[in-house]
Amino acid sequence: MFIKFLMIFGIFLSSTQAMLSDGIHQPKDYLKFVETQEAFKASCFVYDHFRHILQTGVLIAPDIVMTAAHGFEGKVHLAGIIVGFGDTVSHESPQNYKVKALRTHPRYYSTPFPMQGKYDMVFLKLTTPVQGVQPVPLFEEKVFNQIPPLYVATFGSADIPHGAPVQRRAFVLPETDIFSITGRDPEALYDFKTVMMGSVFFEPNDHLKPVKPHGPERELRTYQANLQWRKLNKPPYALALPGSSGAPVFMNVMENGKMKTYVFGLIQSFSHLSASSFRHALGDKETQHLLKTKRQKLYGHYQSVFCIPYKLYQPIEAYKDTPKTYRLSRHVKNILNELENEHKPSKKKSMHSHHPHHKTEKAPQP
């Protein structure tokens, strides 16, 4: 599945230059933006030396990293996995850490497609705590009248030449959580919202006319995203890209007069606004549209999609803003408790995912 994503993204982004994709900012702008928040340093790369898969993760505790589960399907060799905070995937780098255990969200394998994407997360237990990096935690519960600005720090590498050092870069998701629910079953929308939270890949426009609350969803989201983007002083923005799977989505929340940063979600993929499925096989109409349509015409149609480790509680009322309550999933709580108490690697009970679709075995260092 991950390879399927990688191939699609690679074809698309090889021609659109990934981090140049917003048509406004240059590569240096994304590198410069990553220096604007201390929390971005908690973003790390996760590299599998056996399968040569690169994705992004985030340090949520001194020795626990959260990342995307779809990069760990099938047989996983823990000895080949490196979690790094520098610019090299070498085993010898002092900024790189080994993994001794992992836990996949239990509903990732048991939930039917396409809602599986809601649970696309895995938690890695490192052999030693990370030095010199402050973890960015998950929150227990928050109530939001409106989702604050969201930021992504990623090691996505689609536009980096093969063999070049990996780079941490950052961009903003300038979209507020706006959905039109006309014609949608409320219960279906409840699930839909949990997955379809992301950034409109919009064309900045300082002269957009206001859109009525009942207006077309794409126009409404694009307009609101433009307002948010200008309010944030027009920072870099982008789509998800190869290597961005598992990248943290950060939010800054004011608590007791001080700004606190939390991990709100993980990048999972990108999707067309009207898509009901978030994965596409090579050769389908969606891919052909991406390959044949000029870059400028893609703006306003696509978004980054991310999953969240929280349960959303919200009264669903059409066209009415209601407070949103997010509580940390009990499944995630259980996983974190297990990993926190994991201190006997040699005990008979496996430290890894117990699902039959997920096999883990030790292997010698490459």
Cα angle: 105, vertex 136, 192; to 5 degrees:
45
Q: What is the mean pLDDT of the chain?
A: 77
365 against 224, higher pLDDT: 224
pLDDT over threshold 50, residue 215: yes
DSSP state of 196: B
Express each pLDDT in 5-33 by its tens digit: 333 333 233 223 334 356 688 888 999 99
Residue bearing the bigger pLDDT, 292 or 349: 292
Give residue limits of the domains in the chain.
2-361
Q: Is the pLDDT of residue 276 over 50?
A: no
Does the pLDDT at position 142 exceed 90? yes
Q: Which helix (H) or strand (E) holds 240?
A: none
Nearest to 121 by CA among 108, 112, 134, 130: 108
b/e map of 46-76 (b: 16 or more CB within 10 Å)?
Answer: bbbbebebbbbbbbbbebbbbbbbbbbbeeb
- Opening angle at CA 329, ends 126 and 40, nearest 5: 50
Predicted confidence (pLDDT) at residue 272 exceeds the cutoff of 70: no
The answer to whether 41 and 183 are in contact (CB under 8 A) is no
CA gap 309, 328 in Å, rounded? 6
Note the residue count of the chain: 366
Q: Following DSSP, what letter does each residue of 287-308 receive, concatenated? A: HHHHHHS-HHHHTTTEEEEEE-
Which CATH number applies to 2-361?
A: 2.40.10.10
Residue 262 CB neighbour total at 10 angstroms: 18
Whether the CA torsion 205, 210, 215, 221 is positive or negative: it is: positive
The span from the first CA to the last CA of the chain, in angstroms, equals: 25
Neighbours of 352 (CB within 10 A): 20
Is the pLDDT confidence value at 159 over 80? Answer: no
- SS3 call for 117: helix
Instruction: Find the helix packing angle between 2-16 and 285-292, rounded to 10°.
Output: 20
Instruction: Please report the pLDDT score of residue 320 as a whole number.
Output: 56
What tokens appear for 19 in the block?
Answer: 């981090």
Would strands 74-77 and 358-361 be described as parallel, antiparallel, or unpaired?
parallel
Instruction: Quickly state the pLDDT bin for 342 (edges 50, 70, 90).
Output: confident
Neighbour tally for 140: CB within 10 Å: 10
Residue labelled with tokens 């590198």:
31
* CA nearest neighbour of 244 among 4, 19, 14: 19
Give the whole-angstrom CA distance, residue 326 versus residue 261.
15
- Top-confidence residue, 44 or 147: 44
The Cβ of residue 188 has, within 10 Å, a number of other Cβ atoms equal to 11
Helix, strand or coil for residue 160? Answer: coil
What confidence tens digit (pLDDT) does each residue in 185-213 have? 555 555 555 555 677 777 788 888 898 87
Which amino acid is located at 9 in the chain? F
Q: 85 φ, ψ to 5°? A: -120, 10
- Give tens-digit pLDDT for 306-326: 889 998 776 655 445 667 889
Give pLDDT tens digits for 103-113.
Answer: 999 999 988 76
